[in-house]
């Protein structure tokens, strides 16, 4: 068995190196041989790429540089095509992986044949709970997300395993067979909600979306669209939402 972890970088050298370092430590806790784990780092058209000398110290890492920013779905799909693992983890580059998080997620997934995607709790750097397991991202839910009013983590209860509509793409672990069954991420979505679309398709294929409340990682995330709703990336996000609603036939 082999685990492939796919990380996208876009102009975030410091955060990416911090993420890879934490992941390298988590591999030690996993206890597998080095040929059983790999990190696929995709530089998604950064203006300032990470120097090779900073990456060479990670023996499990392979890096690829794209000429332009292909967006989240296409960038991650590029990594999926390079990955050779039986298990695939999609991981944001602004995460910090707790030492035992990977081993516990892998143990859960390999022991749960009906699980399609398993994800941990995401926490802000101050330890507070992050809004990461969610209801269907209809218009009302998106307004809650943007304003912060009335939103809540649907899996913030005391149960060890919860089953939300979707978990955000900052950390998702699944088997390669899922890709063979439902296909890769939808490349019509440049930036959000490719994670919701992927989870919904996994659920429609008969698998569960499992959110483990006993496992957590840190996520120092940036909300680009919230900071300035009039940028090009915000427009692409809005356009992607319209596509998503038409695709799934549901606006609320």
- Mean pLDDT by groups of 10 residues along the chain of 252 residues: 97 97 95 96 96 95 97 98 98 96 98 97 92 92 78 65 96 97 97 96 98 95 56 87 96 93
The predicted pLDDT at position 143 comes to 84
Reported as half-sphere exposure (CB side, CA atoms, 13 A), residue 212 has a value of 22
Distance CA 28, CA 30 (A): 5
User: What pTM was computed for the model?
Assistant: 0.94
Q: Which pLDDT does position 228 carry in this prediction? A: 56
Place of tokens 């069954």: 181
pLDDT at 105: 98
Report pLDDT digits (tens) over 178-217. Answer: 999 999 999 999 998 999 999 999 999 999 999 999 999 9
DSSP 18: H
C-beta atoms surrounding 249 within 10 Å: 6
- Encoded tokens for 252: 């609320």
CA angle 66, 37, 104 (to 5 degrees): 115
Q: What is the pLDDT of residue 2?
A: 98
Peptide bond preceding 193 in cis form (omega within 30 of 0): yes
The pLDDT value given to residue 225: 44
DSSP 41: E
């Amino acid at each position: 068995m082999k685990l492939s972890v796919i990380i996208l970088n876009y102009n975030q050298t410091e955060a990416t190196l911090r993420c890879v370092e934490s992941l390298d430590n988590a591999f030690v806790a996993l206890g597998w041989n080095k040929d059983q784990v790999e990190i696929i780092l995709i530089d998604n058209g950064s203006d300032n790429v990470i120097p090779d000398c900073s990456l060479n110290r990670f023996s499990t890492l392979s890096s690829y540089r794209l000429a332009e920013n292909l967006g989240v779905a296409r960038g991650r799909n590029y990594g999926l095509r390079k990955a050779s693992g039986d298990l695939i983890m999609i991981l944001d580059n602004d995460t910090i992986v707790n030492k035992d998080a990977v081993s516990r997620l892998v143990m859960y997934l390999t022991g749960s044949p009906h699980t399609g995607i398993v994800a941990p709790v995401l926490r802000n750097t101050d330890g507070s709970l992050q809004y990461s397991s969610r209801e269907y991202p209809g218009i009302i839910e998106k307004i809650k997300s943007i304003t912060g009013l009335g939103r809540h983590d649907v899996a913030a209860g005391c149960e060890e395993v919860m089953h939300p509509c979707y978990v955000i793409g900052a950390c998702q672990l699944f088997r390669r067979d899922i890709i063979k069954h439902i296909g890769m991420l939808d490349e019509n979505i440049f930036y959000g909600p490719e994670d919701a679309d992927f989870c919904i398709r996994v659920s429609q294929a008969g698998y569960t979306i499992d959110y483990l409340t006993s496992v957590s990682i840190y996520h120092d995330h940036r909300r680009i669209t919230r900071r300035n709703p009039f940028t090009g990336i915000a427009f692409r996000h809005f356009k992607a939402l319209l596509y998503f609603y038409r695709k799934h036939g549901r606006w609320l």
